[in-house]
Structure 1
Amino acid sequence: MRVMFVCTGNICRSPLAQAILEKMALDRGVSEQIQVESSGTDGWHVGENADSRMRETAAAQGVNLNHRARQFSAGDLQEYDLVFAMGRNHLKAIREIARREGGSARAKVVLFREFDPALSGGGNPPDVPDPYYGGAEGFREVYRIVERTCDEILNEIQEERLP
């Protein structure tokens, strides 16, 4: 199973989801079965490390965020089984890339928080907030959202309900 997380610059939300899901898979003994990557819809930070505030937040929880940003590409739609968009704008950008490529995509593309167990069913799930312009509490809140949602995603994968 190949999983991709996508946010805007690939320096906060999506690399955090990648690192958390990788750690959870390792802890559960299924890391050989799941390959996880992340990318951004925009290329502003390509080659850069994850945001230092996100790295600090992750490290405080025992999650190592060694990462270099990269941009999402059309080829990712063929290479990955699941693509999780952190927000609606990312979902729209990914779908536009798929449309330009003729609409054929191997990957199932979904909104990340559709799997957030803290949200009651129905309606449209919110985006994962972008902590970039906020303070430390915003980064901690994003960590909590991403951690619980990745836990549910891994449950779904292990129980073969995804993709």
Structure 2
Amino acid sequence: MAENEKRRILFICMGNICRSPTAEGIARAEFARAGLDIDVDSAGTEDYHVGEPPDERAIRAAAAHGYDIAGLRARQVTSADFERFELVFAMDRMNLLALQRFHRGIGAAPTLFLGDTELPDPYYGKARDFERTVELARKGVDALIRRLRSKARHAS
């Protein structure tokens, strides 16, 4: 990445209506609070919900914690995303495998957002599962902020 190039981070789940837009919304808000100028986006490995807003339960859970994701719209990941984004995070191993097959060694290699831990899909669950998604995404974003700051300190 060139020194003056803006950092870009992409969060990916299956349909881009629950986990990845939640992570995107939290990252946007928390990066801004932390004074980090980073472009954030999200996408899905599948095209089930392209153009749709996040699941209403995800919107409510995020809003209950002060994050507005209602204006986001689902899209499907493209091969160009691996070149556009510095970091590409999958929410679980199934989507990581799909991304690794799609990636083909060009650009950013996808990794799991929460390290060795998966962010479970709340779609078929209860409201508390969406709350848990917000909690885990917030912890992941906090860890990412620490990592980015540490990397910046070591680079200077």
Q: 2:119 is matched with which residue?
A: 128
Length-normalised TM-score, structure 2: 0.89
How far did residue 126 of structure 1 move? 3.1
Structure 1: which amino acid aligns with 2:133? V
Q: Which stretches in structure 1 are left out of the alignment for 5+ residues?
A: 115-124
Q: 1:49 is matched with which residue?
A: 53
Contact 2:100 2:109 (8 Å CA) reproduced: no
Q: Give 4+ residue runs of structure 1 displaced > 2 Å after superposition.
A: none
**Coordinate RMSD, CA, aligned:** 1.4
What percentage of residue pairs aligned between the two structures are identical? 38
Q: 1:108 is matched with which residue?
A: 109
**Which digits, 9 at most, give the CA deviation of each residue in 1:110-139, with x for residues without a partner?**
11110xxxxxxxxxx232110001111111
- 2:151 corresponds to 1:160: yes
Q: 1:117 is matched with which residue?
A: none
Q: What CA distance in whole angstroms lies between the structure 1 residues aligned with 2:34 and 2:117?
A: 28
- 2:75 corresponds to 1:70: yes
How far did residue 106 of structure 1 move? 1.8
Which runs of structure 2 are paired with 1:1-150 in the superposition (5 Å)? 1-30=7-36, 33-65=37-69, 66-99=71-104, 103=105, 105-114=106-115, 125-150=116-141
SS at match of 2:48: coil
**Which digits, 9 at most, give the CA deviation of each residue in 1:52-74, with x for residues without a partner?**
00000000111000200000011
**Number of residue pairs matched?**
146
Q: What CA distance in whole angstroms lies between the structure 2 residues aligned with 1:83 and 1:139?
A: 22
**Which digits, 9 at most, give the CA deviation of each residue in 1:6-53, with x for residues without a partner?**
0000000000000001100111122xx210000000000000000000
